[in-house]
Amino acid sequence: MDILKSLGHPEEIFNLFKFKMGGCRAVMPKLDYESMTESLRTCYLYLNQTSRSFAAVIQALDGELRHAVCIFYLVLRALDTVEDDMTIPLDKKVPMLNDFHTFLYQDEWCFTESQEKDRQVLEDFPTISLEFRNLAQEYRDVISDICHRMGVGMAEFLEKKVGSMKEWDQYCHYVAGLVGIGLSRLFSASQLEDPEVGRDTELANSMGLFLQKTNIIRDYLEDTQEGRAFWPREAWSQFAGRLEDLAQPEKLESALSCLNLLVTDALHHVPDVIAYLSRLRNQSVFNFCAIPQVMAIATLSTCYNNPMVFQGVVKIRKGQAVTLMMEATNMSAVQTIIAQYSQEILHKVSLTDPSREKTLHILAVIREKSALSQSSLRSRTHHLSPMYLSAAMVLAALSWQYLSTTAAQAQGTSDMQGP
């Protein structure tokens, strides 16, 4: 029964089968590896090995934009690997982060001392930098600039904790908002999107902040257990003496209040997300941008007022992830998804939650921005006969092994771990 429960609603079970039987090609068309250089094929190999979030949607982008975004991701993954490696002393790490953008033009630069799981992108950085230099100048300029600005920001936060809510926004800007800005500039440089998409840095920044804040909220337990602190002190100090105290059972009420405060803060980016997505015209770019965003709001809905954030790993269901991937292909569908999960959060808002009024206000704004009336929200649980439902459940259970590889790939997208 645990397996059946994890599969979720009958619609999600159906979509798992549909995804396996060819529906995945709607969002993940097969790449022509035969036409690629050996070094470019290696880059895509690294992309699939290191990305828990964007490998599928990157490979679905149109034309030369696909290669530019692939290299952009790998460059930032390498930079991020340096930041994450606690075995590199600060007197060595800070200059590396500040100067990392210069390594893009050094044919043989690599770093072989990392202990991180994604160290191959540093050890074989010459392959990545070679393909970077093969990109058109307009792409290279964007990637180098964002790499530089991100490296400087990462170095700044190495020696200080995230204190105020303003600093939380600043940290998320450095590690994710700049990614949104860089991607938007790449979209415009490719001419698949209008120049305005690349110029509007405020909306692009919000796209990144929404994903990053969702990750930080969801990953509370893993981060605190590994000695990392990304929840802002201004938020958690209202409810506990130490950030890690929120995981204590007797602190549950305070922990949930802090959690809900941060979820409410993250939700303030959703109107910008809606505005940004509504500007996009290219289908592959829309899918690339929309899928992580709907995964994020689904994850926030799962996290909101959920004690499991402080006790284990919180993830959306595999079938839920596949369903979102297959549905989030147009603005109307995205608005429906956002409205639905906003409604789910609304139903969980407690009468005694300290952030109640702020939560209700931003949910009302989101409801208005999504431009959907209550009557247009359709239930995602279809009314099926008991016989059909039983047959579907049995078929799903018997076929779980067959589906597990594809479902795991879909779950990787749901994790939304940014570069």
Q: Which of 66, 77, 119, 218 is catalytic?
A: 218
215, two tokens: 């990750």
Catalytic, 52? Answer no
Using CA atoms, how far apart are residues 88 and 409, in angstroms rounded to an integer?
31
* Long-range contacts of the stretch 215-218 (C-beta < 8 A, 24+): 215/416, 215/417, 215/418, 216/172, 216/262, 217/259, 217/262, 217/263, 217/266, 217/300, 217/303, 217/309, 218/299, 218/303, 218/309, 218/314
b/e sequence 374-394, b meaning 16+ C-beta within 10 Å? eeeeeebeeeeeeeeeeebbe
Q: Which of 174, 286, 288, 304 is catalytic?
A: 288
Q: Directed axis angle between helix 63-84 and helix 283-303, to 10°?
A: 40
Check: CB of residue 97 under 8 Å from CB of residue 83: yes
Catalytic, 140? Answer no
Q: Which of 228, 233, 356, 380 is catalytic?
A: 228
Q: Which of 44, 73, 132, 171 is catalytic?
A: 171
Catalytic, 288? Answer yes
Give the contacts of 329 (CB within 8 A, at least 6 positions apart). 26, 27, 283, 286, 287, 290
Using CA atoms, how far apart are residues 24 and 12, in angstroms rounded to an integer?
14
Q: Which residues are catalytic?
A: 171, 218, 228, 288
